[in-house]
Amino acid sequence: MLPSVLPMSLSFDPNTIILPVGHFIDGELISAEGAIEMRRPSDGKSYAACPVAGVDMVDRAVESAKAALKASNWGGVRPRERTKALQAWTDLIEAEAETLARIEALCSTRPVGQLIAGDIAVTAEQIRFFAEFADKEGSDLVPTDDASLGMIMSEPYGVVGAMTPWNFPISMAGWKLGPALAAGNAVVLKPSEMTPFSTVYMAQLAVKAGLPAGLVNVVLGDGPTTGTALTGHPEIAKVSFTGSTRAGSAIMENIARTGVKPMTLELGGKSPQLVFADADLDKAAAAIAGSVTFNAGQACVAGTRLIVEKSVADRVTAAILERMKAVRPAPTWDEATQYSPIISERQRARVNGIVRAAVEAGGKCLAGGAAMDHPGYFYEPTLIANVDQNNPAIVEEIFGPVLTVQTFETEDEALALSSHPTYGLASGLFTCDLSRTIRLARKLEAGTVWVNRYSRSRDHILPTGGYKRSGIGKDLGREAYLANRRTKSVLISL
Ligand code: NAD
């Protein structure tokens, strides 16, 4: 008789997970008293308290990073050594994917199945992508007269200070750590106080994989205390931030006050999706519904403003409504879960508050508009019609599963509606007209234009970043690597 092989399941009991609670400095987990209560988004149960690093702890982390750079000569070794070390780390991230996924699924809004197939697999791939730049991008010899030799010398900054948001904690840690380390820097990273432990675990894996202790330090805490201490630290040579436009402004202010330094800011969005009557409408509806229900709309690039040609508006909205109504709330620790909770009760109340304000301003809810009758912080996928450009659901980044719908009759009208006074992160365009595609791709005011799709691919060479107040600089792509190097002009008289 053949042995029966039970199917492996990724589902797990959230009460059995051991979390690395503490700062991670110089290769050591430093436990500290928790100050911020943490609740599981999937069922609202309190499970831990996040410590808050003050100025002294941040200082200790920065000193550890400086010492590690000096002792290991990380920025000066043969670049291929950095590539190999980072590859060893990504191999371990993949080998430990299940543990990492469980930590993340317990604390965040990311379902365990999506973490294994998506976030973690892609993060390992992206870190490898950046590791490959280490021995390919470098200094340049430049044309001068023949009595001189001119060089543009490329160097790492030293210690990079990074802050990440709660919506995709592992991916965001990879976006910051991958290019900064490949480029020869050390990093002090402050993850969100709502989802810090997967980042701590990734840092532990880095040391386990052989990266010098102190090269990756993680300090836990909130923005006003820990974040301010980090961005204002005189030995932080460059700041790399992903989060809200509000926090981005506070960081710029703090940097201006404490001393000038370069920064990359990846901020909020309110991205439009334009659908023309000649598009594959079923595909468009699937992509649009997917973009606002994936992670319950808690994505910077979520395409939250549907702008659809009037003649096909009913058909497209009906197809989106059907998909919205099909979502099923379930805990992030169940393998089959596809629909995420909102990160916290507070954030869910904020989402609901904007929806209520939108309705008061004349908006009409075609679906959703309320919290789900289910444990945890789930919110119904929501579609709001009858909104003008001043409606709160159009103006505010909601960061929840909320889509607005507006209609147009001409291309100019569509373009006018797509423009947002604050944000310009991403945009979607659904049409089969090639000339229109090029015309609008040129005119849309956004750092990304997706045509006949609305999602990232695994082409990590495409940079991501915002126009307007959606940010400064880019993550991913060559740009993200180069943003972690500075250049020096050297002119030699021969
Ligand atoms: P947030 O701005 O509240 O927090 C992000 C991080 O910054 C956290 O670690 C937080 O503690 C820290 N922080 C807050 N204030 C700070 C300060 N004054 N100084 C230093 N650090 C500070 O954002 P969030 O609520 O965690 O995440 C949601 C936001 O992130 C949304 O606006 C979303 O659009 C944005 N986001 C942008 C991208 C992108 O690539 N553009 C990607 C993901 C998320």
Residue 319: inside a domain: yes
Output the domain CATH number for residue 206.
Answer: 3.40.605.10
Output the domain CATH number for residue 396.
Answer: 3.40.309.10
- Report the number of distinct structural domains present in the chain: 2
Q: Which atom of ligand 1 is nearest to the CA of 230?
A: 20
Tell me how far the alpha carbon of residue 11 lies from the centroid of ligand 1, in angstroms. 29
For 221-272, the pLDDT digits (tens) are 999 999 999 999 999 999 999 999 999 999 999 999 999 999 999 999 999 9
Same domain, 204 and 298: no
**What pLDDT is stored for residue 8 in this prediction?**
74
CA angle 85, 90, 94 (to 5 degrees): 150
Mutational pocket test of ligand 1: of 236, 267, 270, the residue with most ligand atoms within 8 Å of the beta carbon: 267
Q: Examine the pLDDT at 2 and tell me if it is beyond 80.
A: no
Residue 56: inside a domain: yes
Same domain, 261 and 348: no
Q: In this prediction, what percent of the chain has a pLDDT beyond 90?
A: 98
Q: What is the mean pLDDT of the chain?
A: 97
Same domain, 247 and 285: no
- Contact 465/474 with Cβ under 8 angstroms? yes
For the Cβ of 329 lying below 6 angstroms from any atom of ligand 1, the answer is: no
**What pLDDT is stored for residue 187 in this prediction?**
98
Q: Examine the pLDDT at 346 and tell me if it is beyond 80.
A: yes
The closest residue, in CA terms, to atom 43 on ligand 1 is 300
Q: Tokens in use for 346?
A: 């507070």
Same domain, 219 and 158: yes
Same domain, 194 and 292: no
Q: In this prediction, what percent of the chain has a pLDDT beyond 70?
A: 99
Tell me how far the alpha carbon of residue 226 lies from the centroid of ligand 1, in angstroms. 13
**What pLDDT is stored for residue 39 in this prediction?**
98
Q: Which atom of ligand 1 is nearest to the CA of 166?
A: 26
Q: Examine the pLDDT at 3 and tell me if it is beyond 80.
A: no
For 399-453, the pLDDT digits (tens) are 999 999 999 999 999 999 999 999 999 999 999 999 999 999 999 999 999 999 9
Q: Examine the pLDDT at 5 and tell me if it is beyond 80.
A: no
Same domain, 263 and 294: no
Same domain, 130 and 160: yes
Query: Does residue 266 carry a catalytic annotation?
Result: yes
The closest residue, in CA terms, to atom 23 on ligand 1 is 243
Candidate list 96, 104, 193, 266, residue with the active-site label: 266
Mutational pocket test of ligand 1: of 50, 55, 163, the residue with most ligand atoms within 8 Å of the beta carbon: 163
**What pLDDT is stored for residue 252 in this prediction?**
98
Residue 46: inside a domain: yes
Same domain, 126 and 198: yes
Q: Examine the pLDDT at 303 and tell me if it is beyond 70.
A: yes
List own/partner pairs for 472-480 with CB under 8 A and 24 or more apart.
Answer: 472/263, 472/264, 472/265, 473/263, 473/264, 473/265, 473/266, 474/264, 474/447, 475/175, 475/179, 475/242, 475/264, 475/266, 476/126, 476/175, 478/133, 478/137, 480/130, 480/175, 480/178, 480/179, 480/264
Q: What is the mean pLDDT of residues 25-52?
A: 97
For 166-197, the pLDDT digits (tens) are 999 999 999 999 999 999 999 999 999 999 99
Q: Tokens in use for 144?
A: 């001068």
Domain finish residue from 217, 238, 267:
267
Query: Does residue 50 carry a catalytic annotation?
Result: no
Structural domain including 93 reads: 14-267
Q: Which atom of ligand 1 is nearest to the CA of 475?
A: 40
Domain finish residue from 267, 285, 319:
267
For the Cβ of 479 lying below 6 angstroms from any atom of ligand 1, the answer is: no
Residue 27: inside a domain: yes
For the Cβ of 266 lying below 6 angstroms from any atom of ligand 1, the answer is: yes
Residue 92: inside a domain: yes
Same domain, 132 and 259: yes
Q: Tokens in use for 211?
A: 């990266």
Residue 481: inside a domain: no
85-114 exposure pattern, b = at least 16 Cβ within 10 A, e = fewer: bbbbbbebbeebbeebbbbbbbbbbbbbbb
Same domain, 242 and 132: yes
For 356-410, the pLDDT digits (tens) are 999 999 999 999 999 999 999 999 999 999 999 999 999 999 999 999 999 999 9
Tell me how far the alpha carbon of residue 54 lies from the centroid of ligand 1, in angstroms. 19
Residue 427: inside a domain: yes
CA–CA separation, 487 vs 469, rounded Å? 27
Same domain, 238 and 377: no
Candidate list 50, 107, 300, 365, residue with the active-site label: 300
For the Cβ of 193 lying below 6 angstroms from any atom of ligand 1, the answer is: yes
For the Cβ of 269 lying below 6 angstroms from any atom of ligand 1, the answer is: yes
Domain finish residue from 237, 267, 297:
267
pLDDT interval class at 1 (50, 70, 90): very low
Same domain, 121 and 58: yes
Q: What is the mean pLDDT of residues 128-132?
A: 98
DSSP string, 64-85: HHHHHHHHHTTTTS-HHHHHHH
Residue 451: inside a domain: yes
For 266-294, the pLDDT digits (tens) are 999 999 999 999 999 999 999 999 999 99
